[in-house]
A and B are shown apart, each in its own frame.
Chain A
Amino acid sequence: MYLARVLGAVVTPVQHPFFDGRTLLLVRRLDLDGAERGPDRVAVDRVGAGEGDLVLVLEEGNSARQIVDDGKAPLRSVVVGFVDEVEVDGRIALANEPRVTPRPERSR
């Protein structure tokens, strides 16, 4: 798993049926200094994250299929956590900016 920043949603009107009704997010991997160095991935959202959010991304196929409870799902990247803060050496290295609007209800 790694820390990433959500760049925004990806819309795919023609897609594998597994992705129907699921939110896809473009995410960019972060270093601990907060630099967005990538690589970039498209991940299925499980926490209701949105653009600009600091999130936890899982990138392993078998774990991803276990999370969606579908042994044949063609996915590898899943947003599995909304990160409040990351502490390194007793200091807050990364934190999510407080939201103006409340987070939407948990998606499936």
Chain B
Amino acid sequence: MRLGRIVGRVVATVRAKDLDGEKLLLLQPLDARREPAGATLVACDVAQSGLGDLVLWVGGREAALALPRSFVPVDATVVGHVEQAPDVSGREEMATAPRPRNAPASEPRAKRSAEQDAKRSLPRAPPKRKR
């Protein structure tokens, strides 16, 4: 199992019959530093992932086993939404905004609290994005 980041969605209206109904996401594999590790690939999803999420994914035969239906011909599946993971310096940080269990990714995220905003303005945090 590996870490990755959701970098896009894939729409494919004509597809193999066994792939019908599966959400397809564009996935960038990452190493522990959150740096890209390998080429982007297309993955199915069982963890309600959305764009920008840090995720846990499996490849190979395990990708098909992770899906509730049998047998879906896929070679990568997102199996977890990562809320916390260590980076190489051992410092733990919030990877993505926490989402309540089973909440669909399409729902708008809750507005950040003042506390979270303060956290984001720490020196090591990335610059604020304009909305």
Alpha-carbon gap, A73 to B2, bound state (A):
16
Give the size category of B's interface with A.
35 or more
Can you name the residue of chain B whose Cβ is closest to the Cβ of A62? Answer: B61
Known: A7-B86, A12-B56, A14-B102. A40 touches B2 (CB 8 A): yes
A-B CB contacts (within 8 Å), total count: 107
Mark A38-66 against chain B: 1 for CB-CB distance below 8 A, else 0: 11111110000001000000000100000
Question: B108 contacts the other chain (Cβ, under 8 Å)?
Answer: no
Known: A13-B101, A38-B31. A73 touches B65 (CB 8 A): yes
Q: Is the CB of B47 within 8 A of A15?
A: yes
Alpha-carbon gap, A73 to B101, bound state (A):
21
Q: How far is the CB of B63 from chain A (nearest CB, A)?
A: 7
Alpha-carbon gap, A8 to B65, bound state (A):
26
Question: A80 contacts the other chain (Cβ, under 8 Å)?
Answer: no
Q: How far is the CB of B64 from chain A (nearest CB, A)?
A: 8
For residue B48, which residues in chain A have a CB less than 8 angstroms away from its CB? Answer: 14
Q: Is the CB of B31 within 8 A of A39?
A: yes
Q: Is the CB of A42 within 8 A of B56?
A: yes
Q: Which of B65, B83, B98, B103 contacts A74 (CB 8 A)?
A: B65
Please report the total number of A residues contacting B with Cβ < 8 Å: 30
For residue B88, which residues in chain A have a CB less than 8 angstroms away from its CB? Answer: 7, 28
The interface stretch among B7-15, B16-24, B74-82 is B74-82
Task: Known A-B contacts: A12-B80, A14-B99, A16-B66. Give 9 more (CB < 8 A).
Answer: A13-B98, A15-B79, A15-B81, A16-B79, A19-B79, A40-B32, A42-B2, A75-B58, A75-B62
Measuring CB to CB, which residues of chain B are less than 8 angstroms from any residue of chain A? 1-3, 31-32, 37, 46-48, 56, 58-63, 65-66, 77, 79-88, 90, 92, 98-99, 101-103
19 contacts between A and B (CB under 8 A): A7-B88, A10-B56, A10-B84, A12-B81, A12-B83, A13-B83, A14-B81, A14-B101, A15-B80, A16-B47, A16-B80, A26-B3, A28-B32, A38-B32, A40-B3, A40-B31, A44-B1, A51-B90, A74-B62
